Structure 1
Amino acid sequence: VSSPHGEHEVGRAVFLDRDGTINRSVVRGGKPYPPPTVEEFEFLPGAEEAIRALREAGFLIIVVTNQPDVASGVQRREVVEAMHEKLRALGLCDDIKVCYHSAEDGCDCRKPKPGMLIEAASTWQIDPRRSFMVGDRWRDVEAGKAAGCYTFFIDHKYQEGLTESPDAVVGSLEEAGRVIREELHLRGTDMGHEIVDIK
């Protein structure tokens, strides 16, 4: 089956949060925030290579990101889109789903709701039960679980807790990618929830 950037196995995807997963977040007061400029949009060590390896292994790569600073007026939509153009230009993803709403908007797309994952699953014929969600915040874990994915939590030691237990705790996207490729890729339609802490 052909995706926009190559061949993939039908039904399998890795959903990726953006800030703190693919690129560096700006951490203030123990909480992460998106980089304010395109110039500050910097890949985390090993992230680009991890994504390429997952794509070569046959997974669709779908970025799912909340960008509420656009709704609040702190950020401009064209700056966010320029950051995403960098991802597309490098051939790192098949799709990018963005929620530009604030928490007060009550939308269905903002994580922890699974709307972006469900929309992508419909568009790309993805089976969430055979797919993965990787992120660095509680919203990512909750959204992934609500969609039915196997969830990886990247622990950056932020000053915020988790609302649900992830299926796996790792230190980076690079580590999550290795586990997916080497240990989990042969699992069937229901991958189970055996892994608690890979670190």
Structure 2
Amino acid sequence: MNTGIFLDRDGVINEVLSDRVKFVNGPDDLYLLEGVGEAIKLFNDQDYKVFVVTNQGGVGLGFMEETALQEVHIKMGADLAEFGAIIDDIAYCPHKPKAGCACRKPQPQMILELAEKHDIDISKSYMIGDREPDIEAGKGAGVKTILVGDRKEEQAEADMYFPDLLAFANWLVETANE
């Protein structure tokens, strides 16, 4: 079985609610956060499968088309490739917030479906997010949970906390080599 790293997108991989971009509604709105390319390359080098699990309610609300979302993900892949980093697969929920669907985080469905598709050992895998719904989805799926960032309003009860994705990646590599 493989081991997986499940990443939320907005606020973990790319900027959101920043001075430069409020929401990512097209490829021109996507800016990788500092250290993300290096972090994902470290995961790749440690033989983790890397996945993105993201709520994209802007599609359901009509702020963007699914084709624009695909273009965002193509740009994300190209930007990460500059670091030699790859994402193995992406799952997204296009439904409106509060639509009651089974796939929107905090529900664990996206994680569980990717795990089944890619033969992932859930008990050895991680969900990294910057908000409580990400952590709840990870807990519901049975993976270890990591909260990154400095959002003070979020009181998610993650297994571990790190300032950013690269700090977690460095910790993961260090502990794997102990």
Taking structure 2 as the reference length, what is the TM-score of the superposition? 0.89
Identify the match of residue 79 of structure 1 among 49, 55, 68: 68
SS of 2:154's equivalent in the other structure is: coil
After superposition, the C-alpha distances for 1:42-69 in whole angstroms (9 at most, x for unaligned) are 0000001110111011000010000001
2:55 paired residue number: 66
Change in Cα spacing, 1:154 to 1:49, as seen in structure 2 (3 Å) is same
1:17 paired residue number: 8
SS of 1:43's equivalent in the other structure is: coil
Change in Cα spacing, 1:41 to 1:67, as seen in structure 2 (3 Å) is same
Identity of aligned residues (%): 33
Identify the match of residue 111 of structure 1 among 105, 116, 130: 105
1:55 paired residue number: 44
SS of 1:96's equivalent in the other structure is: strand
Is 1:94 the counterpart of 2:88? The answer is: yes
1:161 paired residue number: 154
SS of 2:98's equivalent in the other structure is: helix
Taking structure 1 as the reference length, what is the TM-score of the superposition? 0.80
How far the C-alpha of 1:186 sits from its partner, in A, is: 7.0
Give 2:12's aligned amino acid: T
**Which has the bigger relative contact order, CA under 8 A and spacing at least 6?**
2
SS of 1:152's equivalent in the other structure is: strand
- Cα RMSD between the aligned structures? 2.0
Give every structure 1 segment of 4 or more consecutive aligned residues whose post-TM-superposition deviation is greater than 3 Å.
Answer: none
SS of 1:129's equivalent in the other structure is: helix
Give 1:177's aligned amino acid: A
Identify the match of residue 170 of structure 2 among 159, 170, 178: 178
2:24 paired residue number: 35
SS of 2:53's equivalent in the other structure is: strand
After superposition, the C-alpha distances for 1:60-81 in whole angstroms (9 at most, x for unaligned) are 0010000001101122222211
